[in-house]
């Protein structure tokens, strides 16, 4: 099967190599032709996935039309804020026989669209799926056992993706809850920034455990309000991804938050990495969403104020801790 992987970051490269090793004909597309040529010569993505060999059989291209020509599957691994622009470069044709899979974890600013919705609005394929879960590229690429979930409204499409992606080191579960799986993967990045701020401030396990526990409650409240299933947030794309992103040294969002907790400005923290910190932009989208739906998300709200309104992290913590007391079952 020909598979196009769009986006040559760490995760896109990992999935391209994984799918190629499973015997597929894979093309990996990157936005910068000079860097694509560098990878073609070195057979390594030194910038985003150092130490992992790119098989010679895996095609590398800066031409989207070449990448997607005759592809039966298109894996979209570009950052959420670039997704619409990249999809607008796709050739204008019917995609009835091609399944599009988003592995991007973010919510578009201003439109507040999930990535599956952006895909639907732009290329209008009949088959769309989303893949999410606790899956750092640095570990998955090295064959460390990883489990994720793929969701599609059509259960047969989800099962098809499940079969193609699954391997002895990469276990894929299926779901029909596209909304819940997408929101779980997106919302956890905001909570992970807060977890990083907690680390940067020098807090300990008590603080992080409370933050993660109350964070998943916030994620579930908003997810259910937007049409997701509550049980999804107890699964891999919810609590599973939240745990990994809040504790891992590989987590861009946690590391970004830690820099802010250590005293760096938001701008300094953003400039310190070439990696995309999805939670930074998602925090803005989430703020708009819960403001409109009246869902209470106090952790996300304080994270937004730190990131966009210049609030001091310690003051944000104080305000979280000193809210009105209530029973745990009440929620916020």
How do 59-61 and 49-53 pair as beta strands? unpaired
CA distance readout (Å), 279 to 62, 67, 108, 251, 272:
27, 29, 11, 11, 16
Give tens-digit pLDDT for 20-33.
999 999 999 999 99
Q: Give residue 329's pLDDT.
A: 82
Q: Give residue 228's pLDDT.
A: 98
The C-alpha atoms of residue 176 and residue 73 are separated, in whole angstroms, by 18
The C-alpha atoms of residue 325 and residue 328 are separated, in whole angstroms, by 9
Helix/strand/coil for 281: helix
Q: Which domains does the chain have, with CATH numbers?
A: 2-176 (3.40.50.720), 179-330 (1.10.1040.10)
Catalytic entry in 105, 113, 127, 188: 188
Where is 140: in which H helix or E strand? helix 137-140
Specify the pTM: 0.96
Which residues lie below 8 Å from residue 38, measured CB to CB, with a gap of 6+? 46
Helix/strand/coil for 248: coil
Helix/strand/coil for 109: coil
Give tens-digit pLDDT for 232-254.
999 999 999 999 999 999 999 99
Among 226, 230, 221, residue whose Cα is nearest residue 114:
226
Q: In the annotation, is 229 catalytic?
A: no
Q: Give residue 331's pLDDT.
A: 67
Task: Please report, in tens digits, the pLDDT of each residue of the chain (332 residues total).
Answer: 999 999 999 999 999 999 999 999 999 999 999 999 999 999 999 999 999 999 999 999 999 999 999 999 999 999 999 999 999 999 999 999 999 999 999 999 999 999 999 999 999 999 999 999 999 999 999 999 999 999 999 999 999 999 999 999 999 999 999 999 999 999 999 999 999 999 999 999 999 999 999 999 999 999 999 999 999 999 999 999 999 999 999 999 999 999 999 999 999 999 998 889 999 999 999 999 999 998 999 999 999 999 999 999 999 999 999 999 989 987 66
* Tally of residues, the chain: 332
Where is 150: in which H helix or E strand? strand 146-151
Q: Give residue 330's pLDDT.
A: 75
Q: Give residue 274's pLDDT.
A: 85
Residue 215 CB neighbour total at 10 angstroms: 26
Q: Give the orientation angle of helix 178-200 with respect to helix 205-225, to 10 degrees.
A: 150
Task: Kindly calculate the radius of gyration of the chain based on its CA atoms and give it in whole angstroms.
Answer: 19
Contact 143, 167 (CB under 8 A): no
Among 191, 189, 295, 178, residue whose Cα is nearest residue 229:
178
């Amino acid at each position: 099967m020909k598979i196009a992987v769009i986006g040559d970051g760490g995760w896109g490269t990992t999935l391209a190599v994984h799918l190629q090793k499973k015997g597929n004909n894979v093309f990996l597309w990157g936005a910068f032709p000079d860097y694509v040529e560098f990878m073609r010569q070195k057979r390594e993505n030194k910038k985003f996935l150092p130490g992992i060999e790119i098989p010679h059989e895996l095609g590398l291209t800066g031409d989207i039309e070449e990448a997607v020509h005759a592809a039966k599957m298109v894996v979209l691994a570009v950052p959420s804020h670039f997704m619409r622009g990249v999809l607008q470069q796709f050739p204008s044709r019917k995609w009835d026989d091609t399944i599009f899979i988003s592995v991007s974890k973010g919510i578009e600013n201003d439109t507040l669209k999930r990535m599956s919705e952006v895909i639907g609005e732009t290329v209008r394929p009949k088959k769309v799926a989303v893949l999410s879960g606790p899956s750092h590229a640095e570990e998955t690429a090295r064959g460390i056992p990883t489990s994720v979930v793929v969701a599609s409204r059509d259960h047969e499409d989800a099962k098809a993706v499940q079969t193609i992606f699954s391997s002895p080191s990469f276990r894929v579960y299926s779901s029909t809850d596209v909304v819940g799986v997408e929101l779980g993967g997106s919302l956890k990045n905001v909570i992970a920034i807060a977890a990083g701020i907690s680390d940067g401030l020098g807090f300990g396990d008590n603080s992080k455990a409370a933050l993660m526990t109350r964070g998943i409650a916030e994620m579930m409240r908003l997810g259910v309000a937007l049409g997701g299933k509550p049980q999804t947030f107890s699964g891999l794309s919810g609590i599973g991804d939240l745990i990994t992103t809040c504790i891992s040294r590989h987590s861009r969002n946690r590391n970004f938050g830690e820099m802010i907790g250590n005293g760096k400005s938001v701008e300094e923290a953003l400039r310190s990495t070439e990696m995309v910190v999805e939670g930074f932009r998602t925090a803005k989208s989430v703020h708009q969403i819960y403001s409109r739906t009246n869902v209470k998300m106090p952790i996300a709200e304080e994270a937004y104020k730190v990131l966009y309104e210049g609030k001091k992290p310690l003051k944000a913590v104080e305000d979280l801790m000193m809210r009105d007391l209530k029973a745990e079952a009440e929620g916020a």
